[in-house]
Structure 1
Amino acid sequence: MTHPHPKPGGGTPGNGEPGDGVEGVVGRAFRDEWGQVVATLIRVTGDWDLAEECAQDAFAAALERWPRDGVPTKPGAWLTTTARNRAIDRLRREAVGAAKLREVAAMAQDVVPEPSEDDAVPDDRLRLMFTCCHPALALEARVALTLRTLAGLSTAEIARAFLVPEQTMQKRIGRAKQKIRNAAIPYRVPPGHLLPERTPAVLAVLYLLFNEGYAATAGADLVRRNLTAEAIRLTQVLAHLMPDEPEVSGMLALMLLHDARKTSRQDDTGQLIPLEEQDRSRWDADLIALGTEILERALRRREPGPYQIQAAIAACHATAPAAHDTDWPQIAGLYAQLTRFAPTPVVRLNQAVAIGMAEGPEAGLLLVDELVASGTLSDYHLLQATRADLLRRAGRLDEAATAYRDALAKATTSAERSFLRRRIEETAL
């Protein structure tokens, strides 16, 4: 069973900024504390649905009480305590038998299960991630469940990340929770010898978590920095846990190299700035240096993988002094390698961009038109946006304007829609 999360002020959780009052504070607490509150409640109660429901109740209570009583000094602790008390009340009402009553009594006295010695990382959120990524679950179910419970993304946001209908995603998440209950999957970080089989799913979770923060799929904000920061933090913990896994290092390098450009992706009015037009003096040179160093260490192990290749692509962009210095032939070659690991339509679309920049827009358009004909990305606005940009570069402005309009009809964020309207005006002149 899934439920919508509380949306302070009627908007998306986490949209609050300083000056928005208590609702803004609750919004920020949602994005900062949701995962920790839910993860702790799951460890204490063992009930995933109860944990989500009681966490939601706690945020609803915050909206009601904080305007009256003031914002607590430690919002996260207040939310966790409130959610735990709601869970105690629920379990007490539903308690059947002496064993269940003892469990409720233990919760009321703050007696919670201690982490197992097998738990290599004392962090409830990471423990939750590995539980969600158990090999008994289908890969996409692992990712979706973690994004739902750990990051607090709505079912609709996760569905857009997977390019599937919302109802399909809701059923997928529900089945994953049921499988965890029925199979009695342990809530812990697995011992070292089992870590490699969990790594691909954990990395997929981190990748989608970072992407949702770096380029939000919906809403007024293109960037949700809390999500990118959380993805980077968890990846750093994972890299410390698995120092000899080059794909983990590759993922961390990829995130850092992208994150280095975050302040230049929008202007002061929130307008989207394309990569080639960004002010590179605003890029974080320290993050670029760190990401490049981590990537080079990973590549020296000579065990290539998709995240290392994507990090190498990001490094080509991040280390180019100016847009015209970008080594597009090398990027096109890296995308050719990436398609062998991940032959997905989205990767092929990015490969088309690189070829269009390296060999000319008409060469890129050949690949894009193949994707259009296949129908695999028919609802993906970046397909038409990419086609429009290549048409613009080729001087086919009327066709470009039409493609930009098609992209605008499918775009889901305010920043992207505003950018596409500007492009329509430019090409329609």
Structure 2
Amino acid sequence: MTDPAAHRATERAAGESYGRLLAILSARTHDIASSEDALADAFARALERWPIDGVPDQPDAWLLSVARHRTLDAWRHTRVQDAATQTLLLLAGEVDAGAADGAAVPDERLRLLFVCAHPAIDAAARAPLMLQTVLGLDVARMAGAFLTSPSTLGQRLVRAKARIRAAGIPFEYPQARDLPQRLQDVLDGIYAAYGTGWDGVDGADALPRGLTTEAVELCRILCALMPNEPEPLGLLALMLFCDSRAAARRSDSGAYVPLDQQDMARWNPDLLAQAERCLHRASGMNMLGAYQLEAAIQSAHCERRLGAPVPPEAMVALYDGLLALRPSIGAQVSRACALAKARGPGIGLQALDAIPANEVASYQPFWAARAHLLAADGANAAARQAFDRAIGLSASPVVRAYLNGMAERL
């Protein structure tokens, strides 16, 4: 039996509540993998029952109750009766009572982010683990954000979850003294979520747009939680600068518009003002960090709306500072583009050539930048080859169309 309304309700719950539900389950079971299995069963059960019984008044509470019972049944079957099981048995009754009286499901996303940043978990797995557990992203979708293959990332996550289970890593909220130690990983997870949503806004799926909104919301919560830390403010400013230009990324016909060609009248002045205030507050704490520098770079890009563009050499200096604080392939590619604008495309190409080839073989922004600089330098044949490489690596139809147009004009 099919019911479009029930299916839409299930999809909406998966997109909006998956992370919260998984956080609550994992907080009690200390086992992310089994919690994921239980939640998957609950969603499957919803697809069966909601078209027949109707969508419950509290879908999240219904899903949580079913997942909790599934976990209890599995533990009873295996006769695992440890302290965590006894706790779960008690809490299951509380949750069922909450579902009965319509109580809202609590939001524990931020707690689970800090759990995923536990120092006992492999550092390379922390941010991907956050995206998978808190936001429900699959490995195929997020592998590109970490410049690795889906199979490698999948193995990394399996090992991380096994480590959590074997080591009994606690899911309690860390002490205040532990937060600064885990903060960088949490910020990286939030920004990876934002970047995944930002890169995926071309499709009809609402999930990418929801990811950017959720990332900004989580960062706002983090700023309130740690008001004396400048880097959460820096990250929030960075995302707000990007959000402020979202409406200008596409023309009226839906074509991709690069930053330097965007209609500044379509930028959101309220978000720009919020971003500037966050960056100003962060800079006032006199603890410079990478996210503050990235936000400062975005602020500089936006200065042309005031008729006072930042000098090209100043942009190069900002990227130099960013690379000194936190080297990355993305920052190296962006610095090469800034160098090209300041000193000519040949200098920019030299900077691109200095990046190890194996690190950028599948990095789409590198090939797009290389194509543009080769074209500007008059090397049309090589530029066409680079455009072809960039087009093949791009998952966005509108970006592919834009690059195709650039290649055809050579």
Pairwise same-fold verdict (TM > 0.5): yes
Contact 1:126 1:189 in 2 (8 A): no
- Is contact 2:29-2:84 (8 Å) kept? no
Mapped to 2, the partners of 1:386 and 1:223 lie a distance apart of 28
List per-residue Cα deviations over 1:71-107 (Å, max 9, x = no partner). Answer: 4444333332332233233333333459687456424
Alpha-carbon separation, structure 1, partners of 2:111 and 2:297: 31
1:183 aligns with 2:205: no
Following superposition, the deviation at residue 324 of structure 1 comes to: 8.8
Match of 1:170 among 141, 151, 154: 154
Give the deviation of 1:38 after TM superposition: 0.6
1:8-52 deviation per Cα after TM superposition (whole angstroms, max 9, x unaligned): x9xxxxxxxxxx865444333222111011111112333211210
Where in structure 2 are there 5+ consecutive unaligned residues? 97-105
Residues 391 and 221 of structure 1: is their aligned pair in 2 closer, same or farther, counting only changes over 3 Å? Answer: farther
The answer on 1:423 being equivalent to 2:406 is yes
Q: Are the counterparts in 2 of residues 214 and 222 from structure 1 also a CA contact under 8 Å?
A: no
Change (3 A) 1:193 1:402: same
Identity %: 37
Equivalent residue number for residue 152 of structure 1: 136
Structure 1 residues 194-203 or 262-271, which shifts more? 262-271
- 2:385 is equivalent to residue 385 of structure 1: no
Q: Tell me how far apart the structure 2 counterparts of residues 426 and 24 of structure 1 sit (CA, whole Å).
A: 44
SS at match of 1:325: coil
CA distance in 1, matches of 2:283, 2:82: 57
Deviation at 1:374, TM superposition (A): 3.1
Deviates more, 1:81-90 or 1:180-189: 81-90
Q: TM-score, normalised by structure 2?
A: 0.88
Contact 1:141–1:172 (8 Å) recurs in 2: yes
Per-residue deviation at 1:313? 0.3
Within 5 Å, give how 1:201-220 maps onto structure 2: 201-216=185-200
Distance 1:331 1:34, change over 3 A: same
Q: How much is the aligned-residue C-alpha RMSD, in angstroms?
A: 2.7
Q: TM-score, normalised by structure 1?
A: 0.85
Query: Which 4+ residue blocks in structure 1 deviate beyond 6 angstroms?
Result: 98-101, 217-223
What are the residue-to-residue correspondences of 1:102-251 with 2, within 5 Å?
102-103=86-87, 105-110=89-94, 123-216=107-200, 224-251=208-235
Residues 187 and 406 (structure 1 numbering): CA distance in 2 closer, same or farther, change over 3 Å? Answer: same
Q: How does 1:315-354 map to 2 (within 5 A)?
A: 315-321=299-305, 325=309, 327-354=311-338
Using a 3 Å threshold, how does the CA distance of structure 1 residues 31 and 296 change in structure 2: closer, same or farther? same
Is 1:143–1:205's contact at 8 Å kept on the other side of the alignment?
yes
State how far apart, in whole Å, the 2-side matches of 1:213 and 1:403 are.
26
- 1:340 CA displacement: 0.5
Give 3-state SS (helix, strand or coil) of 1:187's partner: coil
Give the SS at the match of 2:390: helix
Specify which of 37, 41, 47 is matched with residue 31 of structure 2: 47
CA distance in 2, matches of 1:345, 1:67: 48
Indicate how the Cα distance of structure 1 residues 324 and 370 shifts in structure 2: closer, same or farther if over 3 A, else same: farther
> In 1, are the aligned partners of 2:128 and 2:142 still within 8 Å (CA)?
yes
- Count of matched residue pairs: 399
Whether contact under 8 Å (1:256, 1:288) holds in the other structure is yes
Residue 245 of structure 1 aligns to which amino acid in structure 2?
Answer: E
Q: Distance in 1 between matches of 2:214 and 2:353?
A: 37
Partners of 2:342 and 2:206 in 1: how far apart? 28
Aligned in 2, Cα 1:27/1:353: closer, same or farther, shift over 3 Å?
A: farther
Q: 42-51 vs 220-229, which deviates more? A: 220-229
5+ unaligned residues in a row in structure 1: which ranges?
A: 1-8, 10-19, 113-121
User: Which structure has the highest helix share of the two?
Assistant: 2
Paired residue secondary structure (2:360): coil
Residue 29 of structure 1 aligns with which residue?
13
1:260-296 Cα deviation digits (max 9, x unpaired): 1122212355432211222221211111111111111
The answer to whether 1:375 aligns with 2:358 is yes
Matching residue of 1:296: 280
In 1, the alpha carbon distance for the partners of 2:82 and 2:123 equals 39
Q: Give the C-alpha shift of residue 379 in structure 1.
A: 0.8
User: For 1:23 and 1:423, how far apart are their aligned partners in 2?
Assistant: 42
Deviations 1:187-234 (A, max 9, x none): 122121221111111111112111111113997769812111111111
